[in-house]
Structure 1
């Protein structure tokens, strides 16, 4: 599907365009299925190694907890070491994303997997040697900081290959969010199984081995890698955080991360309080399963509404779902509430990644994706820490207050600052479209940096309709 085809599908010549960025187009865009997406030339060559390389992302924190708990016998120490790793990953990940945009993904991946392997090996050796906590922190920080940002790199590859097909790109983001959810279901199960059947250190050895093997195989697929955008001589390269919209979305994703972190701790504590500790995995699996199901279905819908309005709607549903968790009287009710809460997770993440792609230039897309991923990781660390303290002082149900507060603050920020989620070139008010050829000319002019003629339209970046018309009125 080409950009011109997208415009033709959403507006016919002479049809008035929507009056604002949240208005529905005259007709729904063509639906793009997963089968069509996976037929994209070269897709499987990077998807398979990417899955192997991103699976450890969901194994590292739990593997650290299981190892340190076994060697030091302290939940507090184990949690603190895992938190150091998560915070380092959240803070350094965007910087590696920026380097990948400038120098290429392979140039960043090769040293990253090497540092990660050495750091994990050092952490295992120190833990088995019963080293003091500060030494574990010193090893956990580089172990987390060097985690390859495979999810962001895969999304950047989809963008580079599907830039002329926004509807297919939206499906690709849905596919990636479902894959993320799947890894966060399989990863902890795999880490626990290895730790309990072999030794706790074996779980981290497996995590490092998958990271190295998958990372190297992914880096070898240079043909599908996005183009490099090196910094120009005497100038600064594009920065994702220079966009206020990216900063807003990172804050919103921080709120989503608190949901993940608080749910993990609170579900475990609730299950233990009713004498069914083994059921915590099932309850959290239902929560994650609801998100996976919603993500699959979300990617199959030809959405009429803009990505901005969908982001606000999905996030509001997330807050609504989180608001009931604290009041659930038993595990069955908690499972149902968790399922409803999970149904809003993947659509929120998919729409956020769709939006952020429209807010930054090509030279900052990987960095932008890593800021969102890092925000989730940082929120997870904050959410689990705060929920643990509330549980200690107020009981298991108190931990479920963290998701509603964290997500609620994110929603307030999104609603109050929603104007920041419109791409700079989309800020003009819409006007009638003259012809499909004029729409194509507008797209070509925008790519070349040439102002489009008044009264022409370019496509909406998420494939839901035309972009706001350029040179056709006052800013929105």
Structure 2
């Protein structure tokens, strides 16, 4: 399916550049045909790292987070440079080429494609997408998207409000660089214990780190605080992938990762509008308040997962026939010697 979706995306971009349809329609088509490459990649990691290698899955998701972080830093910069030099069409073409080229390169990796699942099994497993453990991760993804969207608007508003719009780039660098460091350190750390507890701790740290943004005004203090928040964000992304992978059967794993990515994108879009209104009404601190509120909501959701979920068992040490009491759907995977809700 991936080459078909990539072809549709390339066609939508061509319609946009040719002006064959109204810009709004073309924009909707471009977004609707954009493939969820990160979800496809995460599903492949889950299939490759099974059995005795399952303990390396958090490191794989950390590598995925690092790649995404580098893309989010380099991609907009490259496209913006082309647009600023008077070649906006070249920027759009570059973005489309990266998506289509990268997607075709992924599709060509036949060795890593997960085994096909029968239609009946997929339909039966689809009920797992309604389980509370998975829906909580979707809600966390939505809240994390709200955090991202509010931070983006608020950082720009803060820099413009002080009369130094160029400072926004430095603040973004502080946030994104520590984001990469946090993902690298977490991926390299051979950690044990419960992913749910680590998720709750990371969400609480993000909340505490983002609260000062609602009243700080000095650029150095704001930059340092943004750097602290950047350390916790990749940990939350990695743990959300780990817990999503353990919450649903493999037959619907790609769907599950896609729902998480879509929830995050929806949160970014909605938060940008809400934070923008609050910034207009009360300055950048109002937008930072939205980000702090989203972090607090993530903490509540993560703590709720501790209260009503059984203890986590690391995949590498899970017994051959582990069952989860009162689970609506259980997956027994002979390739991983485990079962999960």
When normalised by structure 1's length, the TM-score is 0.64
Shift of 1:304: 2.5
CA distance in 2, matches of 1:285, 1:275: 19
Query: Would you say the 8 A contact 1:157–1:225 is kept in 2?
Result: yes
**Mapping for residues 60-459 of structure 1, pairs under 5 Å:** 108-126=1-19, 135-164=22-51, 165-232=53-120, 236-239=123-126, 241-419=129-307, 422=310, 441-442=320-321, 446-448=332-334
Preserved CA contact (<8 Å) 1:359 1:421: no
Seen in structure 2, the aligned counterparts of structure 1 residues 375 and 422 have a Cα distance that, compared at 3 Å, is: farther
Q: SS at 1:223's partner residue? A: helix
| Aligned partners of 1:230 and 1:237 also within 8 Å | no
The answer (yes or no) to whether the contact 1:263–1:284 under 8 Å persists in 2 is no
Query: What do the CA deviations read for 1:160-194 (whole angstroms, capped 9, x no partner)?
Result: 11111122111101111111111111111111111
**Structure exhibiting the larger radius of gyration computed from Cα positions:** 1
Count residues in correspondence: 328
CA contact (8 A) 2:332 2:338 kept: no
What is the distance in 2 between the residues matched to 1:229 and 1:378? 29
Per-residue deviation at 1:243? 2.3
Shift of the 441–200 alpha-carbon distance from structure 1 to 2, 3 Å rule, reads: closer
Tell me the TM-score normalized by structure 2: 0.88
Distance 1:459 1:361, change over 3 A: closer
**Structure 1, gaps ≥5 residues long:** 1-107, 428-435, 450-457, 462-466, 468-476
Query: 2-side partners of 1:384 and 1:273: how far apart?
Result: 17
- Any idea what SS the aligned residue of 1:138 has? helix
Distance 1:459 1:260 in 2: 35
Could you say which residue in structure 1 is the equivalent of 2:325? none
Q: Give per-residue Cα distances to partners, 1:289-341, cap 9 Å, x unaligned.
A: 11110110011112122111111111111111111112121221111010011
Structure 2: 5+ residue runs without aligned partners? 323-330
